[in-house]
A and B are shown apart, each in its own frame.
Chain A
Amino acid sequence: QVTLKESGPGILQPSQTLSLTCSFSGFSLSTYGMCVGWIRQSSGKGLEWLANIWWNDDKYYNPSLKNRLTISKDTSNNQAFLKITNMDTADTATYYCARPDYWGQGVMVTVSS
């Protein structure tokens, strides 16, 4: 059974760095062809893909976030991570960790001074 679960700070201040963790089970990120990504959704709005990391450590980022993103993984502990620097109130959203076929429940992140 595949599961993914996100964790994060909940609230942070503008200009701070957001660190998110995705803990997953039921698959390995060292398996050929596997990838895990991060997607966010602002309140009442649509979905925005942020980044992917693949089994071979290839990484892809949404250029709209202009080098603010860093994705990484810890294969041994079945975790993936996302860092977003210089957070702004516009980054307030629910952040999801996902394979294309399974998504986590999401973690709400609020940026407020």
Chain B
Amino acid sequence: DVVMTQTPVSLSVSLGGQTSISCRSSQSLVHSDGNTYLYWYLQKPGQSPQLLIYKVSNRFSGVPDRFSGSGSGTDFTLKISRVEPEDLGVYYCYQGTHYPWTFGGGTKLELK
């Protein structure tokens, strides 16, 4: 199985501040079709995960441009700028390239 290692486990950030989350995979996430199926989700308390970024760097519909994804191969980053209260929750990376699909362990974003 592909192991997705997310760091840090928790983050404390000030409103209006900037932060980033790292996700590393145990093998390359480049699919045989040429795409890299790396997703980022935010799970707010009591809610199901919501998609932020798909295929490494594409913002999903309605996601503010404060969120950006980057990376390639095995090393990926989610950056959040101008943090707002609605950004708080647990962030997960997720790979859909290799079966079984696997999630990172999550990063909890809290207010400083």
Contact = CB atoms under 8 A, between A and B. Distances in A.
A11 B49 CA distance: 23
Interface of B is mostly: loop
A46 B49 contact: no
Contact of B60 (A62, A63, A101): A101
Contact of A62 (B37, B48, B96, B100): B100
A48 interface: yes
Contact of A103 (B49, B54, B99, B103): B49
- Size class of the A contact interface (CB-based, 8 Å): 20 to 34
Contact of A64 (B39, B51, B100): B100
A37 B48 CA distance: 14
Nearest to B39: A100
B12 interface: no
Given A100-B54, A105-B48, A46 B103 contact: yes
A96 interface: yes
B72 interface: no
B39 to A, nearest CB: 6
A49 B94 CA distance: 10
B105 interface: yes
A31 to B, nearest CB: 18
Contacts of B48: 96, 98, 103-106
A62 to B, nearest CB: 4
Given A47-B103, A100-B54, 18 more contacts: A37-B101, A46-B92, A46-B104, A47-B49, A47-B92, A47-B94, A47-B106, A49-B103, A60-B99, A60-B100, A62-B100, A96-B48, A100-B39, A100-B96, A101-B51, A101-B54, A103-B48, A105-B48
10 contacts: A46-B92, A46-B103, A47-B49, A47-B94, A48-B103, A60-B99, A60-B100, A62-B100, A98-B48, A100-B96
The 5 closest A-B pairs by CB, nearest first: A49-B101, A103-B48, A47-B103, A62-B100, A60-B99
Interface of B: 37, 39, 47-51, 54, 60, 92, 94, 96, 99-106
